[in-house]
Amino acid sequence: MRPIIGITSYVVPATWGVWHDLPTALIPNDYVAAVEQAGGRAVIIPPDDRDPDVLRVLDGLLLAGGPDVEPARYGAAPEPLTESRPERDAGEFLLVQRALATDLPILGVCRGMQVLAVAAGGSLHQHLPDVLGHERHRPAPGVYGEQEARFQPGSMIAKLMGDDVAIHCYHHQGVAEAGTLTVTGYTEDGLAEAIEDQDRRFVLGVQWHPEVIRDHRLFGALVEAAG
């Protein structure tokens, strides 16, 4: 049987056919396709689910992208451009805490990496242009930034991706402190691009979006760790 990978989902007002602004449980299909093509069985976790018992039927957890983490979770007041959704945080942080406690393999993408960092006691930069002085990580609405990430030799991410990789990113926040996790990849401006827990089976967060360019190496590693 293929390893079962749970993917976090979220509620958004969606419009299709004659329906407008219908609250909809959603996940971009790129995540589903990436897990399936990597040999896993993708299962979508209901949005805002506060019962981490769902993890009992999962072999691995994929934390997908999405809105900002509520700054109170890392002891900060919200800045003007921070847009959080506390209902989603509540469910996902419970999932992550339980998954870490049971050593379930976890891959976090974009927001998912930020959730991992905050769950590990870290903190976020709330608006990167204020910190870095440029908008290369999210150049314009709907436009992915293209950059290069470099990885720490010997790290899990380096073993999976090589010493460096061209990345597609779309985010206005970033990891400032990774808590108990280790930062193992950076872009040339010094921003954390990969974090990992070197004491667990497989806990990896990446700030970029491998799923949008059909780079399935990380999803394959998640599936393998879950198998």
- Token digits for 153? 């030799």
Tell me the CA distances in angstroms from 151 to 45, 50, 154, 157, 198, one per residue in order: 31, 35, 9, 7, 14
Among positions 114, 123, 184, 187, the unique one binding ligand NCCCC(=O)O when judged by CB under 6 A: 114
Q: Find tokens 């926040």 and name the residue.
A: 173
Q: Does 123 bind ligand NCCCC(=O)O (CB under 6 A)?
A: no
Q: Which of 52, 107, 171, 206 binds ligand NCCCC(=O)O (CB under 6 A)?
A: 171
Query: Is position 110 an interface residue for ligand NCCCC(=O)O (rule: CB under 6 A)?
Result: yes
Do the beta carbons of residue 107 and residue 218 sit within 8 Å? yes
Taking the complex as a whole, the smallest distance from the CB of residue 123 to ligand NCCCC(=O)O amounts, in Å, to 12
| Per-residue DSSP letter, 68 | B
Residue 129 lies near ligand NCCCC(=O)O (rule: CB under 6 A): no
Q: Is 62 in the site for ligand NCCCC(=O)O (CB under 6 A)?
A: no
Q: Which of 92, 110, 169, 193 is catalytic?
A: 110
Only one of the segments 23-31, 39-47, 146-154, 171-179 lies at the binding site for ligand NCCCC(=O)O (rule: CB under 6 A); that segment is 171-179
Contact partners, residue 150, CB within 8 Å, separation at least 6 = 163, 164, 185, 186, 187, 188
Question: Closer to ligand NCCCC(=O)O at the Cβ: 40 or 144?
Answer: 144
Is residue 216 among the annotated active site residues?
A: no
- Does 172 participate in binding ligand NCCCC(=O)O (rule CB under 6 A)? yes
Continuous segment of H or E residues that includes residue 25: strand 19-26
Closest by Cα among 68, 62, 56 to 98: 56
CB atoms within 10 A of CB 207: 31
Q: Shortest CA distance to 91 belongs to which of 121, 56, 46?
A: 46
Burial class (CB in 10 A: 0-12, 13-18, 19+), 177: middle
Please identify which of the residues 70, 193, 196, 211 carries the catalytic annotation.
211
Q: Is 168 a residue of the active site?
A: no
Q: Which stretch binds ligand NCCCC(=O)O (CB under 6 A): 45-53, 109-117, 176-184, 215-223?
A: 109-117
Tell me how far, at minimum, the Cβ of 128 lies from ligand NCCCC(=O)O, in Å: 8
The catalytic site residues sit at: 110, 209, 211
Binding site for ligand NCCCC(=O)O (CB under 6 A): 67-68, 110-111, 114, 171-173
